[in-house]
Amino acid sequence: MEAQKLLDAAPFEPSAVKVLKQAFDEAWLCIALAVDPASVENARMSMAHAIIAHAGRLGANDVEALKAAALASIQKQLLGRVA
């Protein structure tokens, strides 16, 4: 649950943090079953970092954009392991 703590501590208003957490939860539901159990915490932290970084650049009000950023970070992470 370190990823949730990271999102809770993000430097945004409480309403924005709620959006970040919604985006995280929705993104996680998309990939949870496909993640190797040994990599779950790393994947969750990667997604949380991506959401916070994206929110810092473009704002924290678009759940779909934040969700897409989280999923893209996981895709890059997985592609890096294959290469």
Confidence of residue 75 (pLDDT cuts 50, 70, 90): confident
**Encoded tokens for 65:** 């954009």
Q: Is the pLDDT of residue 79 over 80?
A: no
pLDDT at residue number 1: 74
| Total domains in the fold of the chain | 1
Indicate the angle between helix axes 40-58 and 63-82, nearest 10 degrees.
130
Domain interval for residue 51? 2-82
48 neighbors 3 (Cβ within 8 angstroms): yes
